[in-house]
Chain A
Amino acid sequence: MIELKEIEKRFGDNLVLKGVSVVIAEGTVTALVGPSGGGKSTLLRCINLLEIPTSGSVRIGDDMLTFRPGGKVASRDIQRLRRQTGMVFQNFQLFPHRTAIENVMEGLITVQKWPLARARERALALLDKVGLAEKADAWPSTLSGGQQQRVAIARALAPSPKVLLCDEPTSALDPELAEEVVEVLAQLAREGTTMVMATHDLRLASQIANEVVFLEAGTVVETGPASAVFGNPQRERTKRFIATLRQEQAAGAA
């Protein structure tokens, strides 16, 4: 279980998250949706502490860290929490100087100190899972965006994280390439991978997510099961936002 409690994040004078609390059950997929600048990405990045919350607490499984304004957190503690997460970025961020399989092996070898042969075996299995076993020795620069993102998913999964965090995983891809990434994520969801994704992609959110958290201006506007929030939103603000997304998607498909 992942629990975010009263998370506040301040960038200078700018309060980006205003006391957000979210509970994410194991084996569920949670979509963070809402307008740009609403705090989705920041909240996601507070889970693996790429952003350090100004205050509040983050719990992953049995590990919990509490933050105070001006307080210092030991990097060892940050690492311990972060190593239970994996992250997929909007712009893939594969290591360009490593081949596809080396990208997937990197965390296992450098961080987990696995022996080379075992790491290679696991990396190959993961590449196979995302449908890219035959591209194991390709350089990232020779892969399409969709393929790069699938390698990035395999890289994030390699150390067996408790949760996979996805930051706009399809928004840098055109619809066709986005589809192959959505399929991989859907497969992971069916297998019970715990995921949290910040996304604008209505198809991604509605196909895969069990839970939806609607964030605007740093606060949670509405939260609930995906079918309820998408099918019958309670708040006027949520209704309007979902209507906009549907229009955008229709326009994109046309």
Chain B
Amino acid sequence: MPHWLQLMLESLGPLLWAALVFTAPLTLLSFAFGLAVGLGAALLRLFGPAPLAAVVRFYVWIIRGTPLLVQLFLIFYGLPSLGVTLDAFPAALIGFTLNVGAYTSEIIRAVIGSVPRGQWEAAYSIGMTWPQAMRRTILPQAGRVAVPPLSNTFISLVKDTSLAAAITLPELFRAAQRIVAVTYEPLILYVEAALIYLALSSVLSALQVRLERRLGRYGGFLEARS
């Protein structure tokens, strides 16, 4: 067996373990929380009182306008100066949640706005209240349009979690770095890490296609060819 293959096989276990224990939970949790933040932010921006909408605009401006790596450093290394000390995982979770929230709020705002006004009126005309119209009529239609852009965010997120290596979280990329530190084989280990990220995002892409099919079953949309 060639040396590189042997090294890859030997390190596969620790790398997958790091992906399972840190990368996957960090990705799933921060996406779920981020989506909730994004929905709330989008609703405030669209329908909330002016001061709250302004707060949301400020939040999106800050998060989109500063590097994610800098945000993570501020939370993990900066906040202790203010007396707030966080472990690496919660620090990363907060950073990624805020990030996902800002980006998805813009997506959600756009897709809610894309549902024709007539759909609101149809919902109202059969007696629905605003929350009923939102939940039963607007969000299901907006959700379908949101799948491709939200999938983009999700897939970016899986890869971006590698930045948490810089704040000491022993996730997939940091696990690779550690093995490099003892084996001095950066090319082999980083290629292996890259392949694992590629596999993870490929799985997500496949799930996206299935989800689009399912949500698209009512027709009226150009369907993606596979």
Contacts and interface: CB of A to CB of B under 8 A. Distances in A.
A85 interface: yes
B121 A50 contact: yes
27 contacts: A48-B125, A50-B125, A75-B129, A89-B121, A89-B125, A93-B116, A93-B118, A96-B141, A97-B140, A97-B141, A97-B144, A97-B218, A106-B126, A106-B136, A107-B128, A110-B136, A111-B128, A111-B132, A139-B217, A139-B219, A139-B220, A140-B220, A155-B126, A156-B125, A156-B126, A158-B126, A159-B127
A95 interface: yes
B151 interface: no
Interface of B: 116, 118-119, 121-130, 132, 136-137, 140-141, 144, 217-220
Interface of A: 48, 50, 75, 79, 82-83, 85-87, 89, 91, 93-98, 106-107, 110-112, 139-142, 155-156, 158-159
Contact of A95 (B119, B129, B130): B119
Contacts of A98: 218
Contacts of A106: 126, 136
B118 A141 contact: no
Given A50-B121, A91-B118, A96 B220 contact: yes
A86 B219 contact: no
A95 B127 contact: no
Contact of B126 (A86, A96, A142): A86
A82 B122 CA distance: 12
Contacts of B219: 96, 139, 141-142
B128 A95 contact: no
Most B CB contacts (10 A, CB to CB) among A93, A94, A142, A159 go to A93
A106 to B, nearest CB: 6
Nearest to B132: A110
Nearest to B122: A93
Nearest to B115: A96
B218 A87 contact: no
Contacts of B128: 107, 110-111
